[in-house]
């Protein structure tokens, strides 16, 4: 089979097309013919590397996969060859107190395909049968691969951690990113008013088409723009994953008693804030990472019902993974860039 991976960390040029042995299922496992795998910012961070990251080489990226089951081990009865599935991006031990209480992503052994173990930039993928969900019938394979990681992350951020409520105002930062595409839709599903922040006119129109009630220019003064929409008090909730200088600007439009929920730092992990403002205004800064399989099941059902919709920017051949990474790095996309093995 063919796959795309890297032998050393670096820019998009380190990605190579590889010939690897076909996998066979072990006990409790299945092999999936991958029809589509989405590209995430996580892939870029892993490709670049960070201190202490120790991965097998070559390493295969890719967290979001959709495909058709090729083979199953004899002890697997819930799935059969030919079934159309998506692969849960997260893995956990399944037996600790966190897993047993439905808090998979807090498990000490929690991992992500394409980050802590080889992922889906490949024609065939071997995984535990317990990591599969049925692909929503109404979705194409690229559409099905476009939602698991980002919608799972956004669901946990908004529904579980920040507990967005009907009638609240929410500022969604970085509105063109996959997780923000999810955030906009989930906020509207919850009955909130959405203010999307982006620095591109075309992306602003697409955010409105997704359901954003208002759009502000992230290159301008956020506080003034948001204040003109909701008043000087500010928004109830900020949906944040950008980090860097944007974090402080977003915090500046949060009302007293408001919440900021964050899952990432695509523009930088070091941020500045005045702690006096946080405790005096009784604001909450909430961290969130991924989500549970139960969360993913809830999201998948909403796609099956047509209440959420995937947003695919474009589909590229697997061999053009480097180009897909460049599109994300240069922010020349809206929604998901998907690879088709």
**Stretch 110-118: mean pLDDT:** 94
- Residue with the larger pLDDT of the pair 242 and 283: 283
Q: Which two tokens stand for residue 225?
A: 């723009």
Distance (Å, whole) CA 313 – CA 9: 26
Pairing of strands 254-262, 214-217: unpaired
- Can you give the pLDDT at residue 108? 92
Distance (Å, whole) CA 290 – CA 233: 31
Decide if pLDDT at 267 tops 90.
no
- Can you give the pLDDT at residue 151? 95
- Can you give the pLDDT at residue 270? 74
Decide if pLDDT at 290 tops 90.
yes
**Stretch 35-42: mean pLDDT:** 95
- Can you give the pLDDT at residue 333? 83
Closest CA to 297 of 186, 182, 148: 148
- Residue with the larger pLDDT of the pair 331 and 262: 262
At 240, is the pLDDT very low, low, confident or very high (cuts 50, 70, 90)? Answer: very high
Closest CA to 320 of 303, 299, 297, 337: 337
Distance (Å, whole) CA 219 – CA 221: 7
Measured distance between the N- and C-terminal CA atoms of the chain, rounded to whole angstroms? 10
**Stretch 152-163: mean pLDDT:** 96
For the chain, what is the mean pLDDT? 93
Cβ atoms of residues 197 and 219 within 8 Å: no
Count CB atoms within 10 A of the CB of residue 16: 13
Where do we find the tokens 């439009």? 253
By three-state DSSP, how is residue 4 classified? strand
- Can you give the pLDDT at residue 273? 81
- The runs of H, that is alpha helices, within the chain are 41-48, 97-100, 141-145, 148-155, 178-189, 201-210, 222-230, 244-251, 275-280, 293-304, 321-329
CA-angle at 132, arms to 69 and 128, nearest 5°: 85
Assign domain 2-148+291-340 to a CATH class.
alpha beta
Lowest mean pLDDT among 114-118, 221-225, 248-252, 290-294: 248-252
**Stretch 149-176: mean pLDDT:** 94
Distance (Å, whole) CA 164 – CA 193: 10
Q: What is the 3-state secondary structure (H, E, C) of 35-89?
A: EEEEECHHHHHHHHCCCCCCCCCCEECCCEEEEEEEEECCCCCCCCCCCEEEECC
By three-state DSSP, how is residue 95 classified? coil
Rg (CA), the chain: 20
Cβ atoms of residues 241 and 269 within 8 Å: no
Q: Which two tokens stand for residue 281?
A: 């205004």
Cis geometry, peptide bond prior to residue 58 (ω within 30 degrees of 0)? yes
Lowest mean pLDDT among 12-21, 211-220, 273-282: 273-282
- What are the residue boundaries of the structural domains of the chain, listed by start? 2-148+291-340, 163-287
Where do we find the tokens 């009638």? 167
**Stretch 216-243: mean pLDDT:** 91
Phi (first) and psi of residue 93, to 5 degrees? -70, -30
| 238 DSSP 8-state letter | E
Looking at 3.30.300.180, 3.90.180.10, 3.50.50.100, 1.10.579.10, the CATH number of the domain 163-287 comes to 3.90.180.10
Cβ atoms of residues 63 and 114 within 8 Å: yes
Q: pTM here?
A: 0.91
Distance (Å, whole) CA 27 – CA 148: 25
- Can you give the pLDDT at residue 15? 98
């Amino acid at each position: 089979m063919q796959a795309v991976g890297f032998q050393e960390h670096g820019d998009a040029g380190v990605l190579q097309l590889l010939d690897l042995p076909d996998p066979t299922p072990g006990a409790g496992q299945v092999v999936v013919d991958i029809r589509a795998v989405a590209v995430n910012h996580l892939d870029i961070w892993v490709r670049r590397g960070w201190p202490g990251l120790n991965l097998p080489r070559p390493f295969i990226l890719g967290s979001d996969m959709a495909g058709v089951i090729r083979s199953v081990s004899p002890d697997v009865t819930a799935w059969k060859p030919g079934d159309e599935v998506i692969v849960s991006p997260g893995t956990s031990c399944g037996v600790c107190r966190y897993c047993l209480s439905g808090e998979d992503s807090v498990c000490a052994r929690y991992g992500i395909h394409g980050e802590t173990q080889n992922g889906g930039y490949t024609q065939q993928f071997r995984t535990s049968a317990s990591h599969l969900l049925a692909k929503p019938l109404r979705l194409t394979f690229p559409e099905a691969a476009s939602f698991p990681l980002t919608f799972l992350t956004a669901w946990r951020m908004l529904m579980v951690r920040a507990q967005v409520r009907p009638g609240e105002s929410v500022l969604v930062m970085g509105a063109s990113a996959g997780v923000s595409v999810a955030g906009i839709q989930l906020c509207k599903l919850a009955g909130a008013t959405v203010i999307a922040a982006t620095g591109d006119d075309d992306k602003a129109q697409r955010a409105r088409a997704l359901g954003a009630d208002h759009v502000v220019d992230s290159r301008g003064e956020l506080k003034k723009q948001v204040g003109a929409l909701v008043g000087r008090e500010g928004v109830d909730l900020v949906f944040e994953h950008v980090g860097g200088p944007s974090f402080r600007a977003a915090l500046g439009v949060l009302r007293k008693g408001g919440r900021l929920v964050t899952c990432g730092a695509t523009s930088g992990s070091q941020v500045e804030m005045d702690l006096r403002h946080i405790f005096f205004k009784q604001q909450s800064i909430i961290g969130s990472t991924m989500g549970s399989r139960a969360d993913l099941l809830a999201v998948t059902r909403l796609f099956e019902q047509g209440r959420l919709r995937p947003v695919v920017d474009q589909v590229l051949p697997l061999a053009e993974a480097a180009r897909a990474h460049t599109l994300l790095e240069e922010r020349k996309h809206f929604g998901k860039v998907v690879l088709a093995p």
